[in-house]
A and B are shown apart, each in its own frame.
Chain A
Amino acid sequence: MNRYLKLVHMEVHRFRWVLAALMAITAICQISALIVTVLTELSRREERLSQNIGNSSAPVPAKDPLTFEWVMMITQQWFSLPILLSIAVLGLYAFIIWYRDWIGRSTFIYRLLMLPAARSNIYFAKITAFLLFVFGLVSFQLVLLPIEQLIFKLVLPADLRADSHIVEVISINQALAMLIPRGFEQFLYSYGLGTIAILTIFTAVLLERSYRRLGILYGLLYLGACGLAVVFPILFLGVGTPGSSFFPEEIFVIVLVMCALVSCVSVWLGMRLLAGKITV
């Protein structure tokens, strides 16, 4: 257990600057966009007001209060871009977390494999670290939102603003709504499926590392087979088809079983490859 935790810390430590950079980019991008948007809207309203003061016959425009939800709607792309960047970086890192150990003259993976501990610790440490990065970034975004709301309140006078609920703020942004599902149950399904995807990618990478050129083919075939296994019940068992031989609740259970099976096979195969195929 101790060895495993040390390996987790090592993986986190290696990625710390990238993680910090992603968080910084997210915070800077979103807070800047928020402040610029609010100040721009304020000056626009003042300009309109001063034009109307000069024209006494024109009606005074109503002062609709601004909400954080409105700001989120206006600045969709500036809030979404850093999120998409983080997703892209983590997607690449799912491969790089392994391949970086094979780069360089003193190949780091051999030092890891020679550690006096079970090799499965390496596999579990990498997946644990990766999941920490994913959930850490999601949590960071969740923590950032109330901070941004506070900044919004600091920038805007109280008579010009109205409150928004955090769920509405998340829902109005397409990237956030996808990243943070409304219900915890759906969160488990979404990120559970993501975790299964990462496990299969890890195993595909180990297949490639184990069999070299042929390993690329094995890895791709393995990814395809896992993907097909997970979607097979939904696509081919007639979920929405009248007269299907399976009831909907049975198809749901089959999907869960297939997901569990793919996870277990991926972990087992990954550890087998690490233990027996990749040699020092």
Chain B
Amino acid sequence: MWRYGLTILIAVLAISGIGAYYAIGRLNHLPEYKLETVQGEPEEGAAVSLSGSYLGDMRSEPLNVNIEGSIYRSEDKVFRKRMMDARSWFYNQPDIQKLLKDHKSFMRGKGYETGFYRDEELVIYADVTTKGLNSDAQKSVLRLSLLSEDSGKVTDFEQTILEMPDNGQLSIQDVQRVDDEAHLLFRKYIDRGITEELVVYVFDIGTGEQLRHSTLASWSDKNKYKSDAQTARVIASDYISAPQDMIFVILNGKEYTYSYRSGLLTELTDPLWHKALGTGMAHSLQQDNFYYSEVRQDRIVLSRYNFITKEQETSYVTLTAEQLGVGVIKSALIRSNRVYLLADDKAGIPGAAVLDLANGELLYAGRAVEVGDEGKTGAELSENLRLLNINIVEKLAD
């Protein structure tokens, strides 16, 4: 036995050293936090995730905090999680999660979130690929897939919708259904993007035949390398596949609404967007209403515009930080029929609040606390924890 002492020693060292580190050595490395309910229903805060950093002695550790606890990003540096989080921007969307749950085989090979439409009867998916790019044979081929919710039957159509001498490239922005027609909104890039257009193609749902197409707007920027991020912006529904007749378009500093049913692009005479520039604005398009908020450190103001009645309700809700029971309001997000606020309480501890979008009623207020160490003061807590962003993570109910 003693002859093999060296081998046994190395084997014991190998197992015990690594085992002890991962079992014991890593314990109590980083503090755990969670979002504690101060007021209201915890369910309202379930979707809230605050992100920021824990400030250690020599380095900071990025983390997310929600009502269940905290997750440090360093713990997510695992090969499996990195693989699973590939395309997380697509798979984390609640309506995509629902589609995957209901129609997983239909979702295979489909990855452009703006290409989906879903109602009680039908799921439509559209995407465009450019073949023979920059050659004389360049063409844009549309793939249109239709799934019947009742029968589960899938119908696929594929057709060329652009070809030379038209060398434009198409990027799908939105898909909507109007009766038996599928309306596809594209951004078209011409001459390597120097000229851009917003175009709508209309197809028959039953036959896949292209019925017509129209150009909503066209603009050029010869100084292409200047930032053109604000040249044209399409704001559709928060839930990308939801039926939504009206969309909001910002074009060269002007604001428009577009109706798929009427095909009309209408300029807003009383612009909404620019009123809140510089104050940190959140916005949301929900059915017939466009909501936007103006956020300042001491108050939040909600306004809305109804596309049908053309009625603009400016400041229909105004709430001060005092009324909300917080010290500083930092930012806001609008999702579904809720307004989510990132706010520090009066002691400077980061937290969140959730308001009802319709009337501003405070539904939830929470603050970050350290788990298992309630003795810490607000100053001690805020010294090491910086939560600077609020995210909404909606999970599908089982």
Contact = CB atoms under 8 A, between A and B. Distances in A.
Interface in A160-188: 162, 164-168, 171-172, 180-187
A249 B84 contact: yes
Contact of B108 (A73, A133, A247): A247
Contact of B78 (A186, A242, A248): A186
A180 B21 contact: yes
A247 B91 CA distance: 10
B17 A242 contact: no
Q: Which applies to chain B's interface (DSSP): helix, strand, loop or mixed?
A: helix
Given A186-B77, A189-B79, A242-B87, 16 more contacts: A132-B7, A135-B14, A136-B14, A140-B17, A142-B18, A166-B25, A167-B26, A168-B56, A171-B74, A180-B21, A185-B78, A186-B78, A243-B111, A248-B83, A251-B86, A255-B83
Contact of A243 (B29, B80, B91, B127): B127
Contacts, number: 126
Contacts of B77: 181-183, 186
B128 to A, nearest CB: 11
Q: Which applies to chain A's interface (DSSP): helix, strand, loop or mixed?
A: helix
A143 B86 contact: no
A148 to B, nearest CB: 14
A16 B111 CA distance: 55
Interface of B: 3-4, 6-7, 10-11, 13-18, 20-22, 25-26, 28-30, 56-59, 74-75, 77-80, 83-87, 90-91, 108-112, 127
A198 interface: no
Contact of A167 (B11, B29, B83): B29
A5 B18 CA distance: 22
Q: Which of B7, B75, B111 has the most CB of A within 10 A?
A: B7
A48 interface: no
Contacts of A139: 13-18
B57 A242 contact: no
A13 B18 CA distance: 22
Contact of B57 (A69, A133, A142, A240): A69
A167 B3 CA distance: 37
B13 A9 contact: no
Contacts of B112: 242-243
Contact of A252 (B10, B21, B80): B80
Contact of A140 (B13, B74, B85, B108): B13
Interface in A200-250: 239-249
Interface in A20-52: none
B22 A184 contact: yes
A97 interface: no
Contacts of B13: 136, 139-140, 143
Given A142-B18, A182-B77, A248 B86 contact: yes
Given A132-B10, A139-B16, A140-B13, A162 B84 contact: no
Given A182-B75, A186-B79, A242 B16 contact: no
A16 B6 contact: yes
Contacts of B16: 139
Nearest to A134: B14
Nearest to B17: A139
Q: Which of B11, B74, B86, B112 has the most CB of A within 10 A?
A: B86
